[in-house]
Amino acid sequence: MPELLERLPNDQVDLKILLVDGCSHNFLFLPSASSREISQHIYEHWPAEWDKKSSVLKPDNSQMLRFIYRGRFLGPTVTLSSSSIPAGKTTVLHMVIRETIPENSSSGVSSQSKAPGLPESRCCVIL
């Protein structure tokens, strides 16, 4: 880890993504990156060690990834800089995978179950 800190550019954020089972992986992002962009990047670059060592399975799409920072979920349009996540440092984000995918409808927001009969979440996060 000290090697990463020495090479970490002052204009980028090192996000240590922590899964509920304790596995983690570091990714570099610009402070202007939104939660949605981070989700897409992680989905497209799913770490091979997570497939080998983690009990967390890669979801069907990037919209199922959610991030928690300082006990709060980050909305899809929230950026790292607007969340006061500093550039040039390593910051831990907890990542959870939703069991439902948000679906917009004319009467408001509803959700469509990925697996009927399962509760909305199979885990809890205690921070």
Alpha helices (H) along the chain: 2-7, 35-44, 48-53
Q: What is the pLDDT, as a whole number, of residue 103?
A: 67
Handedness of CA 98, 125, 109, 62 (dihedral sign): negative
Q: Which residues of the chain have pLDDT under 70?
A: 1-6, 101-127
Contact present, 16 and 42 (Cβ < 8 Å): no
Domains of the chain: 2-113 (3.10.20.90)
Q: What is the pLDDT, as a whole number, of residue 9?
A: 83
pTM of the model: 0.74
- 28 burial (CB, 10 Å; 0-12 / 13-18 / 19+) is middle
Q: What is the pLDDT, as a whole number, of residue 104?
A: 60
Q: What is the pLDDT, as a whole number, of residue 117?
A: 43
How many C-beta atoms lie closer than 10 Å to residue 102's C-beta? 12
Q: What is the pLDDT, as a whole number, of residue 126?
A: 53
Q: What is the pLDDT, as a whole number, of residue 114?
A: 44
